[in-house]
Amino acid sequence: MKLANYRIAALALTLSMTAGCASAPSAPAEADMQDPEIFDTAFDNNLKAQRMGTKGAHFGWVAARSMVENPINRPVSHVGSLASYALKSTGGLLRRVVISTLQMPALDDEIPEVSHTEPMDLDAFEEILDKTTGTRQDIGRITFLVDGDEYFGRLMHSIDNAEESIDIRTYIFDNDDFAVAVADRLKERAADLRVRVMLDSLGNMMAMQADSETMPADHRVPLSIRMYMERESEVEVRNITNPWATGDHTKTTIIDKKTAFVGGMNIGREYRYDWHDLMMEVTGPVVNKLQYESDKAWARASVFGDFANFFAFAKGKKEHADRDGYPLRVLQTRNFDSDIHKAQIAAIQNAQSYILIENAYFADDRTIYELAKARRRGVDVRVIIPSAGNHGPLNASNKVSINTLLKHGIRVYEYPGMSHVKAAIFDGWASVGSANFDKLSLKVNKELNLATSDPDTVRALMEQVFIPDLMISKEINAPVEVTLAARFAEIIVDELL
């Protein structure tokens, strides 16, 4: 509860400093805070000040919605987010204390050689997941799209050929040159079909203030990508609210209710050109589930909030997608329910042969502890992290995690540059999506992964991602230097991120 109190105080302070925004927290308030002219050139001496002013006003608007609007039209989400966060923070803190003081020190026995034993029984493991997560397998097909060229090429083709609808739910829709080009395409298509875009308010606010180093210097930056998309077009845009500073980190784009794109990529230049990343093109009946989740999120983001969400929930899942594929499982992180975390912990605990993980943010103590135990069962455990992360505190926390992993016999590799891939394989069971290996993704924010033990799909993930990435990555064979500041950052990350 102490963390929740800090968050309340921070939001209250913001409200007191931005009283003008607090009186009108709905969508028009965002329009009011913008200059009449949306664009300004990158060479304008006042641009930086304008963007910082927009950021401050936007933050005040987000805080006002959280503290003023949410309790009224999203009472269930508002109270649920606070209670869930407080429960997870308290329970997580106690678990981390037990792990660091008792469980990890108890793992002092000799680390064995890799056993090369037979992998776990995947059919039996899927039954374990039925009980552990309360989810059931659906049917669908996955095609992996590696890096921005593959993904965005395929996405743009699908947008161009859409006939009925385009539904985008993303953490970030940036305001750089590439994101604006995507927005332009959506505006064109909105003249012929339904185009809906959902943005996480906090995530998008921060992203629009940080430019890619490769962005053209003459790009004209929209101060508000929402206003840019809505201006003189039929595109519908909604900002997802952030009750108690929680976020919606899900990334799904659904075309004509039959084809979905799911994974870790937002819409922006970094994902198109700069970073290594991964998405999935998904077809089959599982898309009906993804559309249902998207529709509920869209309703919840409306002015009617939880009330609209209830009616969307009551309508139930509709059947639109083709009935073809193999077993897939939708895993999510929501209030009071962390399917992704429970499933991946179960996978680590049941793995007998190998575990491969690639993730940019590796900060969950429970996951690290279970990996250390798995290595002592003779499991071959390997982790790939980026050599050049994009988040200072998490980069520092990664250094502490690296040394802990190495101490327990886990092989760690540095991918050259920034890898934003969020994928794992455990003895032939794969989980890929939006979730990082940190507290926010595994316990707090809304996330969505797809999991399967289909051998051809897992083999494709191995051949398209893990084998190439291991080949070009550098193995870390000795402990890395960890400063006092890095250790402090790791403590902060454990509690907040």
Reported as a single tens digit per residue, the pLDDT across 130-166 is 999 999 999 999 999 999 999 999 999 999 999 999 9
Confidence of residue 494 (pLDDT cuts 50, 70, 90): low
Stretch 222-231: mean pLDDT? 92
pLDDT of residue 25 exceeding 80, the answer is no
The most confident of 44-48, 333-337, 393-397, 482-486, by mean pLDDT: 333-337
- Give the pLDDT score at 479: 92
Stretch 205-214: mean pLDDT? 83
**What angle separates helix 286-300 from helix 305-315, to the nearest 10 degrees?**
160
For the chain, the domains span 2-84, 105-135+332-496, 141-326
What sign has the CA pseudo-torsion 210, 216, 221, 224? negative
> Beta strand 354-358 with 278-283: parallel, antiparallel or unpaired?
unpaired
Q: Which two tokens stand for residue 411?
A: 């092989």
Query: Do the domains 105-135+332-496 and 141-326 sit in the same CATH topology, yes or no?
Result: yes
Confidence of residue 16 (pLDDT cuts 50, 70, 90): very low
CA distance 497 to 485: 16
* Between 169 and 105, residue with greater pLDDT: 169
Going from the C-alpha of 362 to that of each of 39, 84, 136, 155, 358, the distances in angstroms are: 38, 22, 28, 29, 9
Reported as a single tens digit per residue, the pLDDT across 266-325 is 999 999 999 999 999 999 999 999 999 999 999 999 999 889 998 888 988 888 878 889
DSSP string, 60-121: HHHHHIIIIIHHHH-HHHHHHHHHHHHHHHHHHHHHHHHIIIIIHHH--SPPPPP--PPPP-
pLDDT of residue 30 exceeding 70, the answer is no
Stretch 194-219: mean pLDDT? 88
Q: Tell me what the pLDDT averaged over the chain comes to.
A: 86
Going from the C-alpha of 288 to that of each of 46, 249, 324, 330, 365, the distances in angstroms are: 47, 20, 12, 11, 35
| From the candidate CATH numbers 3.30.870.10, 3.20.20.150, 3.30.1780.10, 3.30.300.30, the one assigned to the domain spanning 105-135+332-496 | 3.30.870.10
Looking at domain 141-326, its CATH architecture is: 2-Layer Sandwich (3.30)
pLDDT of residue 104 exceeding 90, the answer is no
For residues 411 and 475, the answer to whether their CB atoms sit within 8 Å is: yes
- Give the pLDDT score at 59: 80
- A 10 A CB-CB count for 232 gives 7
